[in-house]
Every structure is written in C-alpha cells, then in structure tokens.
Structure 1
C-alpha cells in the first residue's frame, strides 16, 4: 500500500512539474511583448469564438456550404485586413475562450465579451467596439406577468456561465435563483420549456431571437452599469500591448465610421437565410460531418485504448514492483478524474508546451481515459483463465511470452468480450465531450444547428437517432463476433 501511495505521489509530482514548465513558459513569453510581431511574421491572426450567439457570431448554411458570420466576425475581418494578415477562426465553448488565449491557442478571443474588472486581471482587452445593452428574454405567454425586470424578483433567471449577465442577475435581481448553462441555445430551450422564467442576454441577441421566434418576447434589464464594463471588447493574452494597440486603431475606425451598424445589418441578412429553411434535412451535411468525426474519434480511441489497456494489464502482472505501481497509479488517477477535465488538460495544459490541435487532443484524452478502463477489464479476463492452462502450457515448454500471447490472452479476450463491447459503445457516447474544445463532433454540430434554426428540440432528437444508429450497428457487429467466438470454443 505504501509503495502504491509513493507511485501516486510521483505522478502528482510529474503533473506539478508540467504546470511549473507551463508557468515558466508563459512568463518568459510575456517578458518581451512580441505579440504583434508574431502575428505579422506568421501572416495569420488566430481568433477563437463560440459561434452560437447571433447576431454576434453564428454559422450560416447557404447553398449547402457553412461558414461563421456575424458582427463580431466582420470586426475581426476588419482588424485582420488592417494588419495585412489572414484571419483564422477557431471555434470552442464560450467559457474556454479566455483560457485559449491565455495558453497561446489563439491571438485573440471575440464573442460579445464584456471587459469586466475580474476578467481584466487575467487578460488584456481592446477598447469596447459595441455597446448593445442588456435585456431579458421571456415567453410570450408571460408578458403580463413580467412587464419589466422589476417583476422578476424571486424568479428563476437563466444566463450563460461565465458571462456578465450571470453575475448581474445574481447581484441585481433580488431573491432570484440563477441557473447557468454553457450554451445560449440550451438556455433558450430551458426558457421555452419553462425551466427558467427569464434569460439574461445581450440586447442584440435578444432582438435576434424575438424576430425569429414569435414565442419569445424581450424586456429591458433596467441595469445601471459601469460604462467601462458593458459592451463587447476583444480579449488578448496578458502582455500583448503591441497587438492591443494595433487592434485599437481598427476599433477607432469602426467607431468613427459607425461600421457596427453595417455589420449588424449584414448579420440580419444571414439570419434570414438560416430561417428560410429550418428543416433538419437542410442541415444534413452538419449532422453527417458530426457523425464522421464521432466515428473517427471513437475508432482511433478504441484502437489506442485497447493498446494502452493491454500494456497496463501486463504491467500489473509484472514482477517489477515499479511497473506494477505505475500501472496501478495511472489507472486509479485516470478513473478518479472526469474525462472533461482530462480533455481540457491535454488541450490547454500540455498544449502550452506542445501545441496540439483540438482533434488530436481529444483523441489523446479519450484514448488515455479508455485505456485505464480497458486495463481493468483485461486484468479481470486474465485472472479468469484457469491456472491449469498455465500449468499445461508450461509442461509443453512454452515461454512466458508465448504463454501470454497464445494461451492466456486469447481466452481472456473471449471471456471479456461483452465487457469490452460495452466499453466501445460507451466510448462513442463519451467522445461527445470533445466538443468543449471545438472538435466538430455530433454534439458540436447539434448545437450549431440549434443556434442557426432557433429550433431547440428537433436537432436533439436527430442527434439521439444518429447515436442510436451508431451504437446499435456496433452492438450487432460485436454480437456477431461473440457468436463466432462461442462457436469456435
């Protein structure tokens, strides 16, 4: 037990070392401000956003092709044009945007981000380029009940996690219960299904939903706020003074020429394109792409998960105590931490030292997680093989390697096939967690379709059917091979 504890402590020391290297790397990068120089030398301005917040940023499906559009995207294009570089857009959850720039995944983050005092402690901000004001969305059936924000006292208020609206609802609405969610699309669905009474949201976004969904109405927030914290600004990594200064020049031009009104008008036209045809068949390419990535992640993670699992299981039976301790520590640590945290750590934590793309990061995290569970399944299978098999193989003069390869493992896999099948099926569903770092799997595409079409339930139903088809097909395949194994036995 003491030796296992020692091995676990060693793993924690290694993790602490990674964080230390990350901190040193980040501090050394911030020591000299080369933010603008790096962008120009690269010829690309890398921007992260969460494209589920019309009219600021959202995806449009036109003539079978999809792209990210919106007022914020036009602002970013203006900045990139003035810097004479190409704009590269990366998508991820809103609550990961600031982490992305802090860890060097992008040069700037845009997404209707309010430059609050708390956020300014962690990142740099440009000047505010647009102030749309704060509003609440309510159901049309509640217009007589909630005539103004004053009537929301004691109500259940929804707001996107990590936003200004979430904090304001807690501070400004007396006796209210505030519920936070990662996606604005989830919040709108919660509102329409009466899980919440009102939704705190930026005024332009509220207007966009009201125009496209007659079941929703908008009321003013009545907030009196610090003008330096309300409105949208662009976020940058701390110490990016030269890049911030260059971007502020573009924002000065945007304000002088009142370009945000033009950008909003353009976003409105795109939103009309989305609502012309909101059938799920019209968005079949979105779902098809999501299925493609889900299958890819599942297949790759299954292969490496089994490989890691076999290695860990064999390490558990090694005579080398340090190998056994390492395998036990790894398995316990991985099984004791959420997959979501592991995905974030691989992408943002390790990614600071080695810049790993989102898709590969997701595959690595899911593979490492699956390997720990597969290892225990295989270990159980090896233990289930009768000792007489080992004795018979030894009497035939088989080496330990051949014994494991030709006698133990084949019988073990036969015994554990149903359990492995369950792990593979679970992997298809659990891989959906990679959407939080912007991997375009089925869940990611589902949220995009919901944001584009203003339909909350139908995209979810389609995704459920697609997951069922994938898992049912895999179940049939696994059962086929299980039957062949039984027949062979």
Structure 2
C-alpha cells in the first residue's frame, strides 16, 4: 500500500514556509503596470496597487495567517528580487517557462488567459489574423514569453522589446510597431479603455503549463510552494478568479472616469519629491566623495593614487543602471537595503567619480605660481590646497559642476527600475492607469525642464558672483 505524504512531511523539507510565518509577512514583488493583473488606482486621493494578482495573493496570505506586503519594481527585476531574497514571491502575470524554472520555483498555474495582439484600430482591416503579421514589426516586453513567441513563431517578423507595456502601447499608437504581443486579459483591458486600439487572438500552438500565469519563489522553497498551491487549488475550485477579474474591471473604470493630468497631480508631486531627495543627497555625497578622490589622485602614495584611479575608471566605465541593480540586488544579498537608500547610494557613488575628474581638472588649471607663492608665505601643503588652490579651482570648474548637478537630476530617473517612486516611476504608473501614452510624458518633460531651469538660474547667479568677487 502506498502511503501518501502528509503536509507535515512536505513542510519538513525546508524552512521557507516557517520563515514566512515567523516574520508574519509575505513580500510580493510585482510590476503594477499590467492591468488587469496588477495596476495602481487613485481612490479617495490615495494610491493602491490592485488587480487579480493582488487579490489572489491576499487570499494566499490570509490562508498562511500572515500580512501581505507589496514591493513594486520593473518587470525585469521581479524574479531577481525573489532570487536575492528581496521578496518572498514574484507575481506579475509571469509565465513559468523552462528557462525561468532553472532560476526559480513556480507554483501551479493559477490562470490561463491566452495570448493576443493589440493593433491600431485603423489597421483592423489589414491585420485580421496572426498570419497577417508575417514580416511585420512586433512589439513585446523584453524577457517575456510574448517576445520569444513572436521571434520563433511569426515568419520574418522584426521583434522590438521594451521594458514597459505602456511604452509599447505608445509605440503602437505612434506606428513604431505594427502589433503588440500581450496576454489576452491585458489586451481586453486596453481595448475596453482605449477606443484607438483593437485586438486579434494569437494562433500560437501553446503549452498551457508554460503559458499560464504562476507565482515564482526562490529555489528550494518546497514547503512554501506546497502551501501556496493548496490556496490556488481552492481558488480554482471555487471559481474565485472570475470574481477577482470582475473586481479589477471595476477598479479600471475608477481610473478612467477622470484621466486628466490634474487628477493625478499627487502622483507627479510624489515623483518630484523623491527625485529631489535623491538628487539633493547625491549631490552632497558626490561632491564630498569626488573631492576626496581628486585629492587621492594627487597623493604621492602609489597605493592611494591607484585606488582612486581604479575606482574612477571602473565607475565611469559601467552603466549607472547596472550600478543601481548591483547595489540593490548584489549588496542586498549581504545587507537588505531599502530601494530608496540603494538608489541614493548608487547615484552618489556614480556622481563622485565624475565630480572627481572635474575637481582634478580644476586643480590642474590653477597656475603653479600660486602654489609657489603660498610656499614663500610659509603656508603648508594642506593650507595651500584649502585656502589658495581649491577656491580658485572652484571658480574655474563651477560651470562643469553645474552641468553635473543638472545631469544628476535627470540621470536619477534610473532608480525607477528598482521601484523607487521617482518622477519616471510615477509617469509610467499614470500612463498605465489612464491609458494615455503621450500626455503623462509631456507633463513629466515639463516638470523636469522647470526643475533644471530653476537650478540653472541659481547656478548662473552664483557663477556671476564668483566672477565679480575679488
């Protein structure tokens, strides 16, 4: 007689479930720009992440007896968040493909909505079936099943990948792509809320075990996956997914009642707040670090000089986006840093390398005679640098430093990829919620211009005072 394993023996395999229960929370990583799965809604003046996935996860958390905590970030970061321990579960309409199964564990499929294409409504007569998309330009989110399917299954297609579905919809509406590969529920959501769009069903030969949506967990989370699957089976048996989809539809109607940018002023205000916080702190740290690195480069110690050169060259030789991801996910394996702090650290460390070279150039621009004159007056090297060289260097490099400060405000937008709610992050949320592709971009562009214009005027004012100073 075969003895069926009990839940207790399954849970004994690892401590993933017990850890969740001990801390009393389950952290869900998601990208809330994919209605009806997950999206943000502006309700009673407050932001809420809602959708089918959120409702399912609330049910799971309730069954486990813990509280649900949601971490929002870009889609291409949600699986990394699980792998590095930033989140306990990733849930964002994720398809459990064989490639993904090598990195994470998956629950059972909780929903299978199928695949479709969004098209511009004016092209409805031209693109009636998937066969009509041969040799056309197809858009899809980078790293998704839809991207790979379009590459493999549509003859002669040119596939363009982007990180955000909102960017892809804008590309579709501006005729940069001919069609957008997307899951059927999301396609239906866009069509219902945007009269300029239409959809056609795909004819992909699909494996339902790979194309449905599932939750992702860190490798070896057998006990947690077993417990979650129990909730999923109950959700399926009671037909709760349809209820969750209906609730998501109601929330989407709330978003589209008023799609004016003024209605979303609080989103942009919050984005401005975080952008200015990151920029202000990073400027201070960047200047201090840059000054230290510049002085280290002038050191007679070969070791100190080499450390400064190596740091500056390495930071300037790697993209800021990679540095942000490394600080948040890489260092996060050792120390669990919040997204905002990780963003500030990464931007500050990056700025310091560029400021160092600006200051070094300024120091070199000061005539050697100034140093010699200081020595003749009895000033030591420290006082000479502090009272003679650096003040003159500052006058010479002020325009370059000003450009770095202005650039920092714009470059700090990269932190949105790890879920920091800066201006770019909020811009994408507004675009997803309102189904308006261009206007939120225009508003953000104007806001950035106003911020940088004011900063430039302030910097020019002090530059003028320096020129007239004796």
Q: Does 1:444 align with 2:425?
A: yes
Contact 2:13/2:223 (<8 A) preserved: no
Q: Does 1:269 align with 2:232?
A: no
Q: Could you tell me which residue of structure 1 aligns to residue 98 of structure 2?
A: 117
- Per-residue CA deviations over 1:228-270 (Å, capped at 9, x if unaligned) read 1111000001011111111101101100001000000000000
CA distance in 2, matches of 1:224, 1:422: 53
Q: Does 1:480 align with 2:461?
A: yes
Q: Does 1:329 align with 2:330?
A: no
- 1:375 deviates by 0.3
CA distance in 1, matches of 2:421, 2:404: 22
How well do the aligned residues superpose, as a CA RMSD in angstroms?
Answer: 0.9
Q: Does 1:148 align with 2:129?
A: yes
Q: Could you tell me which residue of structure 1 aligns to residue 267 of structure 2?
A: 286
Match of 1:213 among 177, 181, 194: 194
CA distance in 1, matches of 2:416, 2:309: 30
Gaps of 5+ in 1: 1-30
Q: Could you tell me which residue of structure 2 aligns to residue 52 of structure 1?
A: 33
CA distance in 2, matches of 1:171, 1:254: 34
- The 3-state SS of whatever aligns with 2:215 is strand
Structure 1 segments of 4+ aligned residues over 3 angstroms from their partners:
none
- 1:411 deviates by 0.8
Q: Could you tell me which residue of structure 1 aligns to residue 119 of structure 2?
A: 138
Q: Could you tell me which residue of structure 2 aligns to residue 80 of structure 1?
A: 61
Equivalence map 1:336-351=2 (5 Å): 336-351=317-332
Q: Could you tell me which residue of structure 2 aligns to residue 354 of structure 1?
A: 335
Q: Could you tell me which residue of structure 2 aligns to residue 63 of structure 1?
A: 44
Match of 1:193 among 171, 174, 185: 174
The TM-score with structure 1 as length reference comes to 0.93
Q: Could you tell me which residue of structure 1 aligns to residue 85 of structure 2?
A: 104
Q: Could you tell me which residue of structure 2 aligns to residue 420 of structure 1?
A: 401
Match of 1:399 among 377, 380, 390: 380
CA distance in 1, matches of 2:257, 2:380: 70
Greater alpha carbon shift after TM alignment, 143-152 vs 443-452: 143-152
CA distance in 2, matches of 1:80, 1:452: 26
Q: Does 1:229 align with 2:210?
A: yes
- The 3-state SS of whatever aligns with 2:110 is coil
- The 3-state SS of whatever aligns with 1:456 is coil
Match of 1:36 among 2, 8, 17: 17
Match of 2:283 among 302, 308, 314: 302
- 1:33 deviates by 2.4
- The 3-state SS of whatever aligns with 1:455 is coil
Q: Could you tell me which residue of structure 1 aligns to residue 183 of structure 2?
A: 202
Q: Could you tell me which residue of structure 2 aligns to residue 157 of structure 1?
A: 138
CA distance in 2, matches of 1:60, 1:91: 14
CA distance in 1, matches of 2:170, 2:208: 31
Q: Does 1:255 align with 2:236?
A: yes
Gaps of 5+ in 2: 1-11
Q: Could you tell me which residue of structure 2 aligns to residue 10 of structure 1?
A: none
Q: Could you tell me which residue of structure 2 aligns to residue 434 of structure 1?
A: 415
- The 3-state SS of whatever aligns with 1:229 is helix
CA distance in 1, matches of 2:190, 2:50: 16
Q: Could you tell me which residue of structure 1 aligns to residue 4 of structure 2?
A: none
- Per-residue CA deviations over 1:385-404 (Å, capped at 9, x if unaligned) read 11111111111211211111
- Per-residue CA deviations over 1:94-138 (Å, capped at 9, x if unaligned) read 011111100010000001000011110110000000000100111
- The 3-state SS of whatever aligns with 1:112 is coil
- Per-residue CA deviations over 1:402-455 (Å, capped at 9, x if unaligned) read 111111111111110000000000000000000000000000000000000000
- 1:223 deviates by 1.3
Contact 2:121/2:196 (<8 A) preserved: yes
CA distance in 2, matches of 1:396, 1:34: 71
- Per-residue CA deviations over 1:363-394 (Å, capped at 9, x if unaligned) read 11100110000000000000111111111111
- 1:333 deviates by 0.6
- Per-residue CA deviations over 1:460-484 (Å, capped at 9, x if unaligned) read 0000000001000100110111111
The alignment covers a number of residue pairs equal to 459
Q: Could you tell me which residue of structure 2 aligns to residue 183 of structure 1?
A: 164
The TM-score with structure 2 as length reference comes to 0.97
- 1:299 deviates by 0.3
- The 3-state SS of whatever aligns with 2:93 is strand
